[in-house]
Chain A
Amino acid sequence: MQWETVIGLEVHLQLATQSKIFSGSPIAFGAEPNTQASAVDLAMPGMLPVLNAEAVRMAVMFGLGIDAEIGMRSVFDRKNYFYPDLPKGYQISQFSDPIVGKGEFEIQLEDGSTRQIGITRAHLEEDAGKSLHEDFHGMTGIDLNRAGTPLLEIVSEPDIRSAAEAVAYLKALHSLVTYLGISDGNMAEGSMRCDINISLRPQGQAEYGTRAEIKNVNSFRFVERAIRHEVERQSDILEDGGKVVQETRLYDADRDETRPMRSKEVANDYRYFPEPDLLPIVIDEAYVAAIRDTLPELPTAKRHRFMDQYGLSAYDANVLADSRELADYYETVVSACGDAKIAANWVQVELLGQLNKAELAINASPVSATDLGGLIVRILDNSISGKIAKQVFEAMWQGEGSADEVIDARGLKQVSDSGALEAMVDDVIANNSAQVEQYLAADEGKRKKLVGFFVGQVMKVSKGQANPQMVNQLLAKKLG
């Protein structure tokens, strides 16, 4: 049977606030255990939550970013369950009235095609602490530094149909939230974690199949792998006539498999009810409008503009609009050199290639956007060839200065002086009589190939600095 994969994602996004959502504790990554856990975070008796204004602002910003309904009156609820990383015995979350309602946004697939993915809702909640399972004489250690870190849980509709779409969705989400500046999106540090709801149904069937939930997957690669494994597991079960059990599973990256979670198997009754220590959050149109005014151009809009304004392909536009910093860099290069396509090529191939190799972020690039634009200007005005330009770029990367400085210092300026070039061409013809004879004997078709040999020789003599077009013209003239 042909199975269709149905995926919905719940992304837990850590918001880039200074302090926790309900206390004034810092949220720096990697602090010593429990040094960032205040009396509120530890659920000491009598302690009370107070809501962080910035968390609310960021949630609304996200809602506007996906063109969603904003919850003008949203409510915090208690989600009750016992777990040692949950000090109060309940998580403060939003259940019935979230701050962000229905919205949608566009994702782009590898082949350049786009899809709209629905967002069911996004709500504010607090993170739990961490259980450390290293052996403390058979005990588990609890670190509550992360408890109370502000999270925005973004729930998608079951609109995703493949691992590739899931990854494209996450990348687009990552791009959006970093554009908005509401999260650092650092997956390695857990700033973006993903629960995957996944089920299969026979192709063409309207009802959904029974789903499994894979918890806490924290990299694009693992999402892809976890989905592939889960699809395989479920289709094996279904092909054998079996039934998928609704359950929570863990993706084990070391073994590259999913397995059932033992601890949360008992059907939980979370007993949601309005958190009486907090009051409804009521916002007004003016508040929302003020936030709307601060929104930057968002990735989808930028991508479309890059295609329209610069004539870029969907693929190029997607790569260059991926982050605000990269997009800004690219546009600075364009305005410095005036040629959007060559700029796109240089930024994507040379610059990103080097940055990736050096594991540097765009804002740590040793070559500034203006300097890269300056380099392209020298290609466009024939001062240097594309090949020499790569050498110049290498030197600029090493810190040898701007394009012009490197060209001057290394004497790389292209030779376009017809007298000098003519002398070189004459030399090459004189020293390669055998090839000249071969050339003269050849027909029109083969001549085109053979002329390359002479161009190469001239370039060699000129150390690559000869203007290739002029060399071609001279050779054509001299060889007849």
Chain B
Amino acid sequence: MAIEQDEIGKIAELARIRIAEEQIGEVTQRITEILGMVDQLQAADTAGVEPMANPLDATQRLREDEVTEINRREAFQAIAPAVENGLYLVPKVIE
């Protein structure tokens, strides 16, 4: 399936990845090739086949409801790009 440049733009926006203007053509070309390869799948007869999300078809175990974590804010925020008063800082969010 060929993909248009403006569609790549929309996908990149969903993925929050900036693509420089001069690279859009190249990226579109590569993605088109990859989609061409995976499109072989469309020929497969999968009618009625249950999708497989986990290779073992295992089921979820449950954790006891206990507090096991301690406050490690200092260690966690030591590696953060921008913090103040214990808060992570980001450019102004408008609701």
Contact = CB atoms under 8 A, between A and B. Distances in A.
Are A and B in contact, CB atoms below 8 Å, in the complex? yes
Interface of A: 17-19, 23-26, 32-39, 42, 44, 50-56, 82, 84, 131-133, 136, 138-144, 250, 261-263, 269, 271, 274, 276, 278-282
B18 interface: no
Given A24-B69, A51-B62, A131-B93, A136 B14 contact: no
Number of contact residues on B: which range applies?
20 to 34
Interface of B: 14, 16, 53-54, 58-69, 71-73, 76-77, 82, 84-95
Main secondary structure of the interface of B (DSSP, over half): loop
Given A35-B71, A140-B92, A262-B95, 15 more contacts: A18-B65, A19-B65, A19-B66, A34-B88, A39-B76, A52-B62, A136-B84, A136-B85, A140-B90, A141-B89, A142-B90, A269-B14, A279-B54, A279-B61, A280-B54
Given A139-B89, A271-B14, A279-B59, A26 B69 contact: yes
A24 B89 contact: no
Given A51-B62, A250-B95, A136 B87 contact: yes
A280 B95 contact: no
B86 A38 contact: no
A51 B67 contact: no
Nearest to B75: A39
Given A17-B65, A26-B69, A34 B87 contact: yes
Contact of B64 (A42, A53, A132, A250): A53
Nearest to A259: B95
A244 B62 CA distance: 45
A35 B82 CA distance: 16
Contact of A34 (B14, B61, B77, B82): B77
A147 to B, nearest CB: 11
A78 to B, nearest CB: 11
30 contacts: A25-B67, A26-B69, A33-B85, A33-B86, A34-B73, A39-B76, A51-B60, A51-B61, A52-B65, A53-B64, A56-B62, A131-B93, A131-B95, A133-B93, A138-B92, A139-B84, A139-B89, A140-B90, A140-B91, A141-B85, A141-B87, A142-B90, A262-B94, A262-B95, A263-B93, A276-B53, A279-B54, A279-B58, A279-B61, A281-B60
